[in-house]
Chains A and B, each alone.
Chain A
Amino acid sequence: MICDHLSRLLALHVIFCAMRYPSIVQGARDFEKKVSMMLKEEPENPKCFAEGRKDFTCFWEEDEERAGSVDQYSFTYTYQKENSSRCPLRVLRAAGGKRLFICHLNRTQMFVQMDIRVDRDGTQIHSRSLLVELVFLLDPPANVTVSSTGQQGQLNVSWVPPPLKYMDDSMMYEVSYTTADSDVGQVEVARACSELILRGLQPGTKYKVRVRVKLDGISYSGYWSAWSDPVFMETLPAELDLLIVSLTLIISLVLTGLSLAILLSHRRFLVKKIWPTIPTPDSKFQGLFTVYGGNFQEWLGRTNGGLWLTPAFFTPEECPSPLEVLSEFSLCPSLASPPLPPKASKALTRSRKEEMDVRKGLDEREPLERVDAALTEGWRTTTHDQWLLDRLRAFHRNPMPSSQSSLLESQDAYVTLNANNRNEDEHLDDILEETLPLEVLFASRKTVLCESHSDLGSVQQSSGSGRLSSQSSFEYPNHMWMPKGPGYTYMAVADSGVSMDYSPMSRVEDIGKVVIYANEYRNEIPAHGRPFPSRQHLVSGDG
Chain B
Amino acid sequence: MIFNVNFFSFVSVTAGLLALLLILLEWTRPGLPSPLRPICDLRVLNHFIKEARDAEVAMKSCREGCSLSESVTVPQTRVEFDVWEKKNALEQAKEVQSGLWLLQQALNLLRTSVTNTALHSHIDNSIRNLLSINAVLRSLNIQEYTPPASAAGLEGTWSVSSAADLLQVHVNFLRGKVRLLLLDAQACQQDVS
Contacts and interface: CB of A to CB of B under 8 A. Distances in A.
Interface stretch (A24-32, A94-102, A107-115, A381-389): A107-115
A110 B176 contact: yes
B27 interface: no
Contact of A110 (B46, B76, B78, B158): B78
A112 B77 contact: yes
A408 B175 CA distance: 139
B161 to A, nearest CB: 12
B80 interface: yes
Contacts of B46: 218-219
Contacts of A133: 175-176
A219 B180 CA distance: 10
A109 B80 contact: yes
Given A133-B175, A166-B183, A218-B49, A54 B82 contact: yes
B3 to A, nearest CB: 60
A111 B79 CA distance: 6
B23 interface: no
Given A110-B78, A169-B42, A218 B50 contact: yes
Nearest to B177: A111
A166 B180 CA distance: 7
Interface in A136-155: none
Instruction: Identify which of A81, A107, A112 gathers the most chain B CB atoms within 10 Å of its CB.
Output: A112
A79 interface: yes
A131 B77 CA distance: 12
Given A54-B82, A109-B79, A81 B158 contact: yes
A111 B158 contact: no
Nearest to B53: A218
A109 B77 CA distance: 10
Interface residues of A, number: 19
A108 B84 CA distance: 12
B133 to A, nearest CB: 14
Given A81-B158, A219-B175, A111 B50 contact: no
B138 interface: no
Contacts, number: 50
A370 interface: no
A108 B76 CA distance: 15
Given A218-B46, A218-B50, A53 B81 contact: yes
A218 B178 CA distance: 13
Given A81-B158, A169-B42, A219-B179, A109 B78 contact: yes
Contacts of B180: 166
Given A54-B82, A81-B158, A219-B49, A111 B42 contact: no
Given A218-B49, A219-B49, A54 B175 contact: no
Interface in B53-70: none
B172 interface: yes
The 8 A-B residue pairs with the shortest CB-CB distance, nearest first, are A111-B176, A112-B78, A109-B78, A111-B172, A219-B175, A111-B77, A53-B81, A218-B46
28 contacts: A54-B81, A54-B82, A79-B78, A80-B78, A107-B80, A108-B80, A109-B78, A109-B79, A109-B80, A110-B79, A110-B80, A110-B81, A110-B176, A111-B78, A111-B79, A111-B172, A111-B173, A111-B176, A112-B78, A113-B168, A133-B176, A165-B81, A166-B180, A169-B183, A218-B46, A218-B50, A219-B176, A219-B179
Interface of B: 42, 46, 49-50, 76-82, 158, 168, 172-173, 175-177, 179-180, 183
Interface of A: 53-54, 79-81, 107-113, 131, 133, 165-166, 169, 218-219
